[in-house]
């Protein structure tokens, strides 16, 4: 009779499982590192763009503040040309922020300029941005535009007014964009990377204001998702294709005061360049472990006994009730198989025993031995599914906190056990005695009417109040009684009604039973028979 060679089967399965595990681990490592590198680069670019956007915003605000301070001094100097010249020279030379500084009268005539080489003093300016600054009569940052000499610049202006509010003109400063001697260019810096990373700034009309390639400054950027997002005032990061169809990892942030946007981006290939080398190192390290393992498995497979397929298949389904019977029917015709069969049967018996004990422990309160809240919910669900009526007695030990305060928690635990024992003594085998938490208990009585449950509750109350507790005195209980489905159609509602009746008993003086929908039974002693 032909029998499958289990040694070869184990060997083939082990090799396949090992290779699949290796491939899965390798792929998972690759995907994890890939996502991590992408996420780190996106976040780094976002943070860098946000930093530069914030610095640019602060730079422009500081420049505006310089002009604002100068505007407070100039009304007294308007008729003093030499002092006007000194003031524009101070503004230009003090921080190096402005490439050019102008004081312009309301008729557009330039009263003073710095540097003098501009040759504009005494002339009437008619450029659009200069006239817009005159009309604005408020602090203003212009949109970028081409100056007289063709340089792209931005113009900041601050109105000059007398103390009585008479408008005299403005003081303004030009900042070159894209020039090596521009202060904003110095702030943003030069970013020339071998890996193709880029940093650029666009204005609200999508014109490039800063770029590592000066020839591109002034060009319009269209179809770039990062640019569109940052011009909507969004800060974030995303993976995108640039105008050259290069996959980029871009971070972006807006410049709040101007509506410009700063974008920092790096090619995905540059970010992932080291990933392949890293994965080769990981593969080499993994193979150093798996190759000896495969050799060991190949050798150990020779030592495995022959046909154990039935036992192996059955062992994978130990959770089924039929597993034990299936193992008994396995034909163990040799010593090793017989010993394994016996071991599996013994182990299965132990497992079932442990599972039974674990299940019992899972629904049992360790202090009192009563059913805990989990077991209570399980029983209620089963009774509800079976449409089995039941009564609920919710009870609570009166003044239990005083027991703990006066006698200690150990005696308090003994009182809980004392009450639990008395509850057991008045319950039937079909009843469920539960500890729902602390000094609160629940007695579930299947197939019991509301009236009968009330009698049980009153008998229990009288028994407890006449039985000496571990404190050396007597304790009392308050109880609430409800019925399902008599009191309500919903099981949670019935439990709530029993609790509410219990709290009514508490409020009305304790040591009494209150029935849902009825008056309280009272605190008179009940017969114990």
Tokens of 104: 């312009």
In this structure, is residue 356 part of a structural domain? yes
Phi and psi at residue 480, in whole multiples of 5°? -125, 140
Distance (Å, rounded) from C-alpha 419 to C-alpha 464?
Answer: 7
Closest to 120 (Cα-Cα) out of 92, 101, 142: 101
Helix/strand/coil for 472: coil
Region 443-447 average pLDDT: 92
Most confident of 7-21, 335-349, 427-441: 427-441
Region 19-48 average pLDDT: 86
Closest to 33 (Cα-Cα) out of 264, 276, 265, 215: 276
Sorting pLDDT into bands at 50, 70 and 90, what band is 322?
Answer: low
Question: What dihedral do alpha carbons 140, 141, 146, 149 form, nearest 10°?
Answer: 70
Task: Give the rounded percent of residues in the chain with a pLDDT score beyond 90.
Answer: 34
Q: Which of 115, 143, 176 is the last residue of a domain?
A: 176
pLDDT of the residue at 190? 57
pLDDT of the residue at 307? 44
Least trusted range by pLDDT, from 76-80, 354-358, 366-370:
354-358
Strand partners, 254: 261
State whether the Cα torsion 460-461-466-467 is positive or negative.
positive
- Indicate left, alpha or beta for 96 from its phi (over 0: left) and psi (-120 to 50: alpha): left
338 and 378 in one domain?
A: no
Residue 76 pLDDT more than 50?
A: yes
Residues ≥6 apart with Cβ < 8 Å to 427: 433, 443, 445, 456
438 and 335 in one domain?
A: no
Sorting pLDDT into bands at 50, 70 and 90, what band is 238?
Answer: very high
Residue 420's domain is classified under what CATH number?
A: 3.30.70.270
**DSSP for residue 123:** P
Q: Tell me whether residue 334 is exposed, middle or buried, using C-beta atoms within 10 angstroms of its C-beta: 0 to 12, 13 to 18, 19 or more.
A: exposed
How many CB atoms are closer than 10 A to CB 114?
A: 23
Residue 512 pLDDT more than 90?
A: yes
401 and 321 in one domain?
A: no
Residue 196 pLDDT more than 90?
A: no
Region 155-164 average pLDDT: 92
Region 275-280 average pLDDT: 80
Residue 297 pLDDT more than 80?
A: no
Domain around 340: 309-360
How many CB atoms are closer than 10 A to CB 73?
A: 13
447 and 336 in one domain?
A: no
Task: Give the rounded percent of residues in the chain with a pLDDT score beyond 70.
Answer: 82
pLDDT of the residue at 168? 93
Give the chain's domain count. 3
391 and 502 in one domain?
A: yes
Closest to 253 (Cα-Cα) out of 232, 222, 223: 232
pLDDT of the residue at 132? 87
Distance (Å, rounded) from C-alpha 9 to C-alpha 19?
Answer: 15
Region 206-218 average pLDDT: 81
Helix/strand/coil for 209: strand
401 and 342 in one domain?
A: no
Sorting pLDDT into bands at 50, 70 and 90, what band is 341?
Answer: low
Q: How far apart are the first and last CA of the chain?
A: 77
| Cβ atoms 481, 392 nearer than 8 A | yes
In this structure, is residue 250 part of a structural domain? no
Distance (Å, rounded) from C-alpha 93 to C-alpha 46?
Answer: 34
Sorting pLDDT into bands at 50, 70 and 90, what band is 497?
Answer: very high
Distance (Å, rounded) from C-alpha 252 to C-alpha 266?
Answer: 12
In this structure, is residue 300 part of a structural domain? no
Of 483 and 15, more confident: 483
Residue 470 pLDDT more than 50?
A: yes
In this structure, is residue 402 part of a structural domain? yes
138 and 112 in one domain?
A: yes
CA distances 414 to 408, 434, 437, Å, are: 10, 17, 15
Sorting pLDDT into bands at 50, 70 and 90, what band is 354?
Answer: very low
Q: What average pLDDT does the structure give for the chain?
A: 82
Closest to 128 (Cα-Cα) out of 106, 150, 145, 112: 145
Distance (Å, rounded) from C-alpha 434 to C-alpha 429?
Answer: 13
pLDDT of the residue at 358? 42
In this structure, is residue 304 part of a structural domain? no
353 and 478 in one domain?
A: no
Residue 191 pLDDT more than 60?
A: no
In this structure, is residue 14 part of a structural domain? no
Residue 73 pLDDT more than 80?
A: yes
454 and 321 in one domain?
A: no
| Cβ atoms 200, 210 nearer than 8 A | yes
């Amino acid at each position: 009779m032909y029998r499958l060679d289990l040694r070869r089967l184990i060997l083939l399965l082990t090799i396949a499982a090992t290779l699949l595990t290796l491939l899965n681990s390798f792929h998972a490592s690759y995907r994890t590192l890939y996502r991590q590198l992408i996420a780190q680069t996106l976040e780094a670019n976002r943070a860098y763009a946000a930093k530069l956007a914030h610095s640019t915003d602060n730079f422009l605000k500081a420049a505006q503040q310089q002009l604002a301070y100068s505007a407070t001094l100039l009304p007294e100097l308007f008729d003093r040309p030499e002092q006007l010249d000194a003031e524009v020279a101070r503004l230009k030379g003090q921080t190096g922020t402005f490439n050019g500084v102008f004081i312009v009268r309301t008729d557009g005539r330039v009263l003073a300029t710095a540097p003098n080489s501009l040759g504009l003093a005494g002339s009437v300016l008619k450029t659009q941005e200069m006239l817009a600054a005159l009309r604005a009569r408020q602090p203003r940052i212009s949109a970028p535009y081409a100056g007289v000499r063709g340089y792209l610049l931005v113009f900041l202006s601050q109105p000059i007014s007398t103390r009585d509010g008479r408008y005299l003109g403005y003081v303004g400063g030009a900042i070159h964009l894209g020039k090596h001697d521009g202060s904003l260019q110095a702030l943003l810096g030069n970013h020339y990377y071998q890996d193709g990373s880029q940093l650029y700034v666009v204005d609200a009309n999508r014109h490039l204001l800063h770029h590592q390639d000066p020839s591109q400054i002034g060009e319009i950027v269209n179809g770039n998702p990062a640019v569109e997002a940052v011009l909507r005032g969004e800060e974030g990061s995303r993976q995108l294709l640039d105008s050259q169809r290069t996959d980029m990892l871009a971070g972006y942030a807006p410049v709040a005061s101007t509506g410009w946007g700063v974008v920092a981006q790096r090619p995905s290939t540059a970010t992932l360049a080291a990933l392949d080398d890293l994965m080769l190192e990981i593969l080499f390290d993994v193979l150093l472990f798996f190759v000896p393992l495969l050799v060991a498995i190949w050798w150990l497979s020779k030592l495995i006994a022959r046909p154990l397929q039935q036992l192996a298949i059955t062992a994978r389904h130990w959770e089924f009730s039929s597993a034990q019977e299936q193992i008994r029917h396995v034909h163990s015709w040799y010593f090793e198989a017989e010993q394994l069969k016996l071991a599996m049967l013994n182990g299965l018996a132990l497992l079932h025993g442990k599972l039974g004990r674990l299940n019992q422990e899972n629904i049992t309160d360790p202090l009192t031995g009563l059913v805990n809240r989990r077991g209570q919910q399980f029983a209620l669900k089963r009774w509800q599914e079976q449409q089995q009526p039941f009564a609920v007695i919710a009870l609570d030990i009166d003044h239990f906190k005083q027991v703990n305060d006066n006698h200690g928690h150990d005696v308090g635990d003994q009182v809980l056990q004392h009450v639990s024992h008395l509850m057991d003594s008045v319950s039937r085998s079909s009843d469920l005695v539960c500890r729902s938490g602390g000094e609160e208990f629940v007695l579930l009585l299947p197939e019991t009417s509301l009236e009968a449950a009330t009698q049980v509750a009153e008998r229990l109350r009288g028994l407890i109040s006449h039985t000496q507790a571990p404190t050396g005195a007597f304790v009392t209980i308050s109880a609430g009684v409800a019925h399902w489905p008599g009191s309500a159609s919903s099981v949670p509602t019935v439990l709530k009604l029993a609790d509410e009746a219990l709290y009514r008993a508490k409020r009305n003086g304790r040591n009494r039973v209150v029935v849902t929908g009825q008056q309280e039974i009272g605190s008179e002693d009940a017969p114990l028979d």
